Amino acid sequence: MTEGDRYLYSQEPPQFNLVIIGTGTIGQEHMRVAAMLGRARVHGIYDTQAHSLDAAEENFKKLSSDTLVRYPDLQSACNDPAADALMICTPNYTHFEVLKVAMASSKPIFLEKPMATDLQDAAAIVAMSASYSSFIQIGLQYRYKAQYVEAFHEALDRRSLGIVKTISVSEHRPPFLDKVGQWNKFSRFSGGTLVEKCCHYFDLINLLAQARPSRVYASGGQAVNFLDFEKDSERSDIDDHAFVVIDYNNGVRASFTLNMFCPDFSEEIIIVGDEGKLIAQENFNFQQQAESTTTVEILKGELGVSKKMDVSYTRALEQSGHHGSTFYEHIAFVDQLEGKSVDCATALQGMWSMVVASAAQQSMITGQAIDIEEFIETNDLKILQP
Ligand SMILES: NC(=O)c1ccc[n+]([C@@H]2O[C@H](COP(=O)([O-])OP(=O)(O)OC[C@H]3O[C@@H](n4cnc5c(N)ncnc54)[C@H](O)[C@@H]3O)[C@@H](O)[C@H]2O)c1
């Protein structure tokens, strides 16, 4: 190797040690992505299930020769002096309790979405986060998907669409996957489908609308999936389709459509302003295991340049998880560890995504539109009062 090559291929050693709490599907994705990014080392792991730890260790061996510390309990996982940051990747219903133990360490924390299963816990987390000596980043990483990075740039930075008026989002996909203990088949463990899954989309819509939601109406239910699914004699109660309408206090109107009994995955955002329309789409033919296609199209009519583009990250990044968005989420997390200011989901943004989701779930039950200011008052969410 020549001297020049040595510098070309040399990489700074990882600067931070991470502890992963909960080593199921997403915990292992974070381990994979951290190893790929190489700026932080996975130092240790903790899970309540030995088989999750075994699987995580086995899979990690394929990526790294680093030995992992395996903690016997949550306290020791959170308080290892060698650890610089904690990543909480446990099921939704455990987040609040695990977070309280993690925060006693004063270490930087990454907390998976949704931050909690109910709004009272979410409000407590926002309050705790505001006075925390370190920082808490929430795992709402869809904002880093290639098509949304471009959509945000066009709609919010370049203002290519003029003043944004309407936002329509949809997700069509197959049913929820298996989880350790099947927690995602029950609303009391997941917070409900719109909280568990769709907080990602409500976060995107909130960011694009740049205002407070004022009214939410939704219709939906459980039509096809897990109708016969039971665990410990308890029947699955999770919704598999929904139509949600959201009004914002700046006049922006939005809609969200969910269908979870489709053969393929597709996501779409259509944003329309007074000067143009943007369509961002991601399609993944799950049955054919074909490569996903991701496009952004802008139509300006007579007002300017229209264009359509394929957008992507490198194949390796896209395959590392959530179409590369988890990788960029890690960049934001490590940048924050280095003291840089970054664009990442805050506890307050995480809570607003839950407010829209929870109001929509309530509307589905009552059949009535939910006035958000009243909803905030009824639920005693003082932290959100203007
Ligand atoms: N950001 C995203 O796109 C994304 C994607 C998938 C999952 N998630 C979120 O990540 C979290 C985990 O989801 P998953 O799909 O990995 O679930 P999973 O069931 O595959 O894994 C969860 C793991 O946590 C362990 N666990 C349960 N209780 C624990 C506790 N008290 N302490 C330590 N470990 C515990 C389980 O044994 C299991 O190994 C959920 O909050 C989920 O909503 C986020």
Which atom of ligand 1 is least distant from the CA of 94? Answer: 31
Both 168 and 308 in a single domain? yes
C-alpha 111 – ligand 1 centre gap (Å): 10
Q: What is the pLDDT, as a whole number, of residue 2?
A: 61
Domain annotation covers residue 321: no
173 lines ligand 1 (CB under 6 A): no
Both 266 and 308 in a single domain? yes
Question: 80, 109, 138: which is the final residue of a domain?
Answer: 138
Q: What is the pLDDT, as a whole number, of residue 344?
A: 97
Q: What is the pLDDT, as a whole number, of residue 5?
A: 64
180 lines ligand 1 (CB under 6 A): yes
C-alpha 90 – ligand 1 centre gap (Å): 4
Both 179 and 225 in a single domain? yes
Q: What is the pLDDT, as a whole number, of residue 7?
A: 61
Find the CATH number of the domain harbouring 37.
3.40.50.720
Both 147 and 91 in a single domain? no
C-alpha 140 – ligand 1 centre gap (Å): 14
Both 26 and 40 in a single domain? yes
121-146 residue pLDDT tens? 999 999 999 999 999 999 999 999 99
Question: 122, 138, 154: which is the final residue of a domain?
Answer: 138
Both 94 and 203 in a single domain? no
Domain annotation covers residue 336: no
Whose C-alpha lies nearest to ligand 1, atom 39? Answer: 24
C-alpha 301 – ligand 1 centre gap (Å): 46
Render the burial of 320-356: b for 16+ CB within 10 Å, e for the rest.
bbbbbbbbbbbebbbebbeeeeeebbbbebbbbbbbb
Which atom of ligand 1 is least distant from the CA of 97? Answer: 31
CA 243 to chain centre: 20
362 lines ligand 1 (CB under 6 A): no
Characterise 48 by phi-psi region: left (phi > 0), alpha (psi -120 to 50), beta (else). Answer: alpha
Domain annotation covers residue 199: yes
Find the CATH number of the domain harbouring 282.
3.30.360.10
Render the burial of 161-170: b for 16+ CB within 10 Å, e for the rest.
beebeebbbb
Q: What is the pLDDT, as a whole number, of residue 8?
A: 62
Domain that holds residue 66: 3-138
- Residues (pLDDT < 70) of the chain are 1-10
113 lines ligand 1 (CB under 6 A): yes
Question: 110, 138, 166: which is the final residue of a domain?
Answer: 138
C-alpha 89 – ligand 1 centre gap (Å): 5
| Side chain identity at residue 204, one-letter code | L
Domain annotation covers residue 307: yes
C-alpha 321 – ligand 1 centre gap (Å): 15
Q: What is the pLDDT, as a whole number, of residue 4?
A: 61
C-alpha 112 – ligand 1 centre gap (Å): 8
Q: What is the pLDDT, as a whole number, of residue 3?
A: 60
Three-state secondary structure call for residue 235: strand
Size of the chain, expressed as the number of residues it contains: 386
Predicted TM-score (pTM) of this structure: 0.96
- Best residue for ligand 1 mutational test, from 28, 30, 47 (most atoms within 8 Å of Cβ): 47
Q: What is the pLDDT, as a whole number, of residue 297?
A: 98
Q: What is the pLDDT, as a whole number, of residue 292?
A: 84
203 lines ligand 1 (CB under 6 A): no
C-alpha 224 – ligand 1 centre gap (Å): 24
- Alpha carbon dihedral 348, 352, 353, 354, in 10-degree steps, equals 100
- Best residue for ligand 1 mutational test, from 71, 95, 180 (most atoms within 8 Å of Cβ): 180
Both 125 and 155 in a single domain? no
Q: What is the pLDDT, as a whole number, of residue 285?
A: 80
DSSP codes, 242-267: EEEEEEETTS-EEEEEEE---SSEEE
Both 152 and 131 in a single domain? no
Both 51 and 180 in a single domain? no
DSSP 8-state secondary structure symbol assigned to residue 311: -
89 lines ligand 1 (CB under 6 A): yes
Both 267 and 132 in a single domain? no
Q: State the average pLDDT for the chain.
A: 96
Phi, psi torsion values for 276, nearest 5 degrees: 165, 175
Domain annotation covers residue 130: yes
> How many structural domains is the chain composed of?
2
Both 180 and 250 in a single domain? yes
220 lines ligand 1 (CB under 6 A): no
Domain annotation covers residue 341: no
Both 132 and 19 in a single domain? yes
Domain annotation covers residue 330: no
Domain annotation covers residue 318: no
Whose C-alpha lies nearest to ligand 1, atom 42? Answer: 91
